Structure 1
Amino acid sequence: MFTGIIEDTGLVTLLDHELENLHISIKSRLATELKIDQSVAHNGVCLTVVNINNDEYTVTAIKETLDKTNLGALKINDQVNIERAMKLGDRLDGHMVQGHVDQTAQCTQIEDANGSWVFTFSYDASLNNVTIEKGSITINGTSLTVVNSKTDSFSVAIIPYTFEHTNFNRLQIGDMVNLEFDVLGKYVARLLQKKEREQF
């Protein structure tokens, strides 16, 4: 379980394809604090640490993960948002994040709001994921609040601290991001779908 509060932006140093798996090596100041088998979120994707070498560590993404997230599009020197799993007893500064990406979205607009930024994203609504105004959304692992919620798009406002300390500062129009919708909202949506099916 994660909170969506990014601890570091790591630098991709090596991408090693093995059959349908992708081994991703990342340079991060957190590397020396990690352990083998530890779960770490990368752009919101929970992956297991398989190797540590000084200030670099390696995780492995399997085909299903690559198919459902933006990790397959990573390039050397790309930045990824990193968060270690939350500890019991810690403050929950973001919201409950599982590290299981629901789908990707495309950045369609970036607006400079004179001290902050408004990013707009569109996504495939046929997958039945929904946002609500002022609800929680996780974008590339970052816990954010939804504004301008629509059926297949939404926006988020990014404060300077978040812009500087996540990979939002590298995001461009057309880029794909990972989305994890609010887990409580997903349960409500599933229950409503079940109720509708039972009525017919």
Structure 2
Amino acid sequence: MFTGIIETLGTITNIKKEKDNIHLTVKSNFTNELKIDQSVAHNGVCLTVVSIKDDTYTVTAIKETLEKTTLKDFEIGNLINLERGMKLGDRLDGHIVQGHVDHKGICSNIKTEEGSTIFTFTYDSKSNNVTIEKGSITINGVSLTVINSKKNEFSVAIIPYTLENTNFKLLKKGDNVNLEFDVIGKYISKLSNF
């Protein structure tokens, strides 16, 4: 379980393909605090630490994860958003995030305003996932508030701190992102389809 509050940016230092899986090696400033079997969200994707060496650690992504997320597009040198699992009893500063990406979205527009940047995203509405005005969405692991909610499109307003301290600062129009829709909204959507 995560909160969507990014702890740090990590750098992909190695990518190794093995059958349908890939092993990602990541350099981060909290590697020395990790342990084998610990969960870490990588651009919103929950992956298990399988090895640790010096200031890097390795995680494995299976075929299903690669098909639903942007992980297969990662390249050596990419900066990724990292968050360790939530500690029971800590404040929930973001929202309830499972680290289970629903599907990819596309950045369709970026607009700079006075004091914020508005990012607009489109997604496949066939999945029955929904956004609501002022509801929560997780984009590349970042907990954000929805504005301009439409059937298969929504926007978020990014404050300068979030822009600088996440990989949103590198996002361009046309880029794919990982989307995890609000878990409560997913349950309501599922129940309303019965």
Q: Tell me what 1:193 maps to.
A: 193
Matched, 1:159 2:162: no
The whole-number CA distance in structure 2 between the counterparts of 1:147 and 1:115 is: 16
Q: List aligned pairs for 1:22-171, cutoff 5 A.
A: 22-171=22-171
Q: Tell me what 1:197 maps to.
A: none
Which structure 1 residue ranges, 5 or more long, are not aligned?
195-200
TM-score, with normalisation over the residues of structure 1?
Answer: 0.96
Q: Partner amino acid for 1:192?
A: S
- When the two structures are aligned, how many residues end up with a matched partner? 194
SS at match of 2:193: helix
The whole-number CA distance in structure 1 between the counterparts of 2:169 and 2:76 is: 17
Q: Partner amino acid for 1:66?
A: L
The whole-number CA distance in structure 2 between the counterparts of 1:113 and 1:103 is: 28
Matched, 1:181 2:181: yes
State the 1:116 CA deviation: 1.2
Which structure 2 residue ranges, 5 or more long, are not aligned?
none
State the 1:54 CA deviation: 1.2
Q: Partner amino acid for 2:180?
A: E
Q: Which runs of 4+ in 1 moved over 2 A?
A: none
State the 1:115 CA deviation: 2.1
State the 1:114 CA deviation: 2.2
State the 1:128 CA deviation: 0.7
* Structure of larger gyration radius: 1
TM-score, with normalisation over the residues of structure 2?
Answer: 0.99
Q: Tell me what 2:5 maps to.
A: 5
State the 1:25 CA deviation: 0.5
The RMSD of aligned alpha carbons is: 0.5
The whole-number CA distance in structure 2 between the counterparts of 1:126 and 1:169 is: 30
Q: Partner amino acid for 1:140?
A: N
